[in-house]
Structure 1
Amino acid sequence: METIATLSLKEGMVIGKDVISKERVIVPANSKVDSVIIQKLNAFHVMTVSVMEPEDFASTYYAKLRVSKAFKAFEENYKTNLTAYKVAVDSFIYKKVPFRQNDLITIANNLVPEQMSGRLLFAYLYLLLPTEDNLTYAHGLNVALISTIFARWLSFNEEDTRNLILSGFLYDIGKFVIPYDIIWKSSKLNKMEFDLVKTHAFHGYHLLSKQNLNEHILNATLQHHERCDGSGYPQELKSDEIDPFAKIIAIADMYEAMTSSRTYREPMCPYTVISIFEAECFQKYDVKYVTTFIKHVAEELIGNRVRLSNGLEGEVVMNNQHNYSRPLVKCEDAIFDLSKQRDVKIVAVI
């Protein structure tokens, strides 16, 4: 809701609060402004009125956020900083200009100031829709931003936070030497294509090994597709052989890939992604890191409205500590404990 001068009123606007003069309502809230209302306000010498803004007409958290001034400002800021990141990447790949590490950290700080919560950042990223030619750049930027929040959740010191953010910016740099139409192919890759994609970890490591970078960053680039059970690539390493920063980036990479919009598909519901992590965390991901991640993501979702597989909508009121993808949801007067009602699940955050 916004307070504006009566002189700025335009027909079609909607009054946000009752307009009161001489202890009586002269124009009730939710009235659609027309010439008669404007004349009445002028006759009563009303100087300012409250009018509805786009978010006031939205009914859900994401709908309100999408049309909010705060998101519009973030979106513009994101575009500016994505361009800066893209210039840095292209200069490195095509002109061999070394990355200026402080510039990358500045980009992250511009988009994730200290006061920004994980809930707000993840919601903003969920709403963004990068253009097709920016998908690889946006993926790297988003993982760096997620890593900024992840470092807070892990209580990292300043140096480790810096190196984790830089890992997010640089770990996928090898994808820029793989044909774009293979990297972002919407259908399943054939074996030859997948084998080619898997080389991006080696390509990235080779490109960055010539730079003055922390060892964690180089290892995250080479090992972010390794899995604790040895099922990953390129070296089929097992848990104690994988750099901890690579383990963390692997989680941020997977979460970003599944919850971000693509030109060819909608983002996956965060609860679906959490359920995938829960099903695979003890085998593929480091339990300490993945548990911290899904715990905090789930905590950030408390209070959101969700749609259930049975068609009902409700509010997440409490998490189940042993099954974060199945919280307690209040639908009108009923409470659904999804950890017990296994035939019902969350299909969308709204």
Structure 2
Amino acid sequence: MKTAKIQDLNEGDILARPITDSYGRVLLQKGVKFTNRIIQRLADFQFKYVYVQDELTEDIYPQDLLDDQIRFETIHYIRESFRAFNEQPTNLKRNQYILEKSLKEVQKKVGEINEIIQDNEEILSIMSDLFLYDDYVYMHSLNVTVYSLALANELNYPKHKIEQIGIGALLHDLGKTQVPKSILNKPGKLTDLEFSIIKEHTIYGYDLLKHANLPNEVKYCVVQHHERLNGSGYPYGLVGPNIHPYAQILAVTDVFDAVTTNRVYRPGLLPHEGLEILYSGSGELFLPEYVDLFRRNISIYPNGAEVELSNGAKGIICEQNKHLPDRPKVRILENEEGKLHKSQVYEINLATTLDVMITQCNVSSFNG
């Protein structure tokens, strides 16, 4: 299978992977033939791409670290934790009871996800665009959790600390329950006043968790994940060593997922573009060690993505190279002379063919 931009779909193309909502309900079943009406609906819901069946790439499968069951179960408990404060923000005792109940399940899910990451020998890849989410913040919280757990494992933290980081990541945006949705989802540029309200979510989140039965390290993740090395962050403008190491992990993973995800006010960047943002702030905003480790362990060009190479060839990403995310294996379908016949198709391993590089990637599984 291969990826196809929504605007490049044709009537009669066949869906290779189902599309679901955040409750696990199937919206489009695998095998559905696209019509103009379906294509338009996908565009209306701001999907960037889908996987379609293709004879020359039928043996290529996208990587996805999490299966649907653990994804939807985790999102459910994130939603429950957040809604405790969305629905009755003034009933603190009731909210605290609901939160404590949800937190027990959240902690279990963090442990399960961490085991999956530790058992995973492939490069980290998260599928987002094939799911329709009713609220960006839930999926963002899950993605940041996966990225943060992976980075914490690379830093060789002990298990209990890794899981603290994971819980902090799941809850890092809890304070956004206290920010008006009209501001959170505003399609245009925020006013100075609106941005100042948004920035308060770190304090709100800390206050909501202040009395929760959680390690202080988790609460530091919530209140400090927008702090930056040079003191330009918020809410306190902390500098370098005054920022908790866990929060510095979240600073990297939160920014990456935020900029590579589609929002109502702007399209998401491709993964390599998101990494460029991290590198532009490396040393000033983010710890260089964390940025480097993160880059080496995530899928920049996911399986099934269409790419162009520096030698003029075009093809599909068919396999990843561990710790070399920018140099995967590519199945070449077209060269400078035109499209290749099925018998002429070949593969190139960019990890060993060092004089060739990817110059363009048309779509990406990281844009949610």
Q: Shorter-chain TM-score: what band?
A: 0.5 to 0.7
* Structure 1 residue 63 displacement after superposition: 8.3
Q: Which has the higher contact order (CA 8 A, sep 6+)?
A: 2
SS in structure 1 opposite 2:206?
A: helix
SS in structure 2 opposite 1:164?
A: helix
Q: Is the 8 A contact 1:271 1:325 kept in 2?
A: no
Superposed, 1:32-43 pairs within 5 Å as: none
Q: Is the 8 A contact 1:140 1:169 kept in 2?
A: yes
Rounded to whole Å, the distance in 2 between the matches of 1:82 and 1:157 is 25
Tell me which moved more, 304-313 or 242-251. Answer: 304-313
* Offset from partner CA, 1:137-189 (integer Å, 9 cap, x none): 22222222322222222222111111001101112111110011211223221
Against the structure 1 CA distance between its residues 247 and 87, is the aligned structure 2 distance closer, same or farther, given a 3 Å change threshold? same
Letter in 2 for 1:206: D
Aligned residue in 1 for 2:44:
none
Rounded to whole Å, the distance in 1 between the matches of 2:270 and 2:137 is 21
* Structure 1 residue 195 displacement after superposition: 0.9
* Offset from partner CA, 1:231-261 (integer Å, 9 cap, x none): 1111111111111011001111112212334
Letter in 1 for 2:109: I
Superposed, 1:335-350 pairs within 5 Å as: 344-346=359-361, 348-349=363-364
Against the structure 1 CA distance between its residues 329 and 318, is the aligned structure 2 distance closer, same or farther, given a 3 Å change threshold? same
Q: Is the 8 A contact 1:142 1:256 kept in 2?
A: yes
RMSD over aligned Cα atoms: 4.1
Moved over 6 A (4+): 315-319, 328-331, 333-337, 339-343
Q: Is the 8 A contact 1:326 1:345 kept in 2?
A: no
- Percent of residue pairs identical: 22
TM-score norm. by structure 1 comes to 0.67
Superposed, 1:54-203 pairs within 5 Å as: 57=54, 64-65=61-62, 74-91=67-84, 94=88, 95-96=94-95, 97=97, 98-100=99-101, 101-110=103-112, 113-114=115-116, 117=120, 122-125=125-128, 127-131=130-134, 134-203=135-204
* Offset from partner CA, 1:196-244 (integer Å, 9 cap, x none): 1011111111221222322221111111111111111111111111110
* Offset from partner CA, 1:43-76 (integer Å, 9 cap, x none): xxxxxxxxxxx9764766998449xxx89x9335
Tell me which moved more, 158-167 or 202-211. Answer: 202-211
Letter in 2 for 1:139: H
* Structure 1 residue 194 displacement after superposition: 0.6
Against the structure 1 CA distance between its residues 117 and 265, is the aligned structure 2 distance closer, same or farther, given a 3 Å change threshold? farther
Rounded to whole Å, the distance in 2 between the matches of 1:140 and 1:84 is 11
Q: Is the 8 A contact 1:272 1:347 kept in 2?
A: no
Q: Is the 8 A contact 1:204 1:221 kept in 2?
A: yes
Letter in 2 for 1:129: L
Q: Is the 8 A contact 2:205 2:223 kept in 1?
A: yes
Against the structure 1 CA distance between its residues 176 and 306, is the aligned structure 2 distance closer, same or farther, given a 3 Å change threshold? same
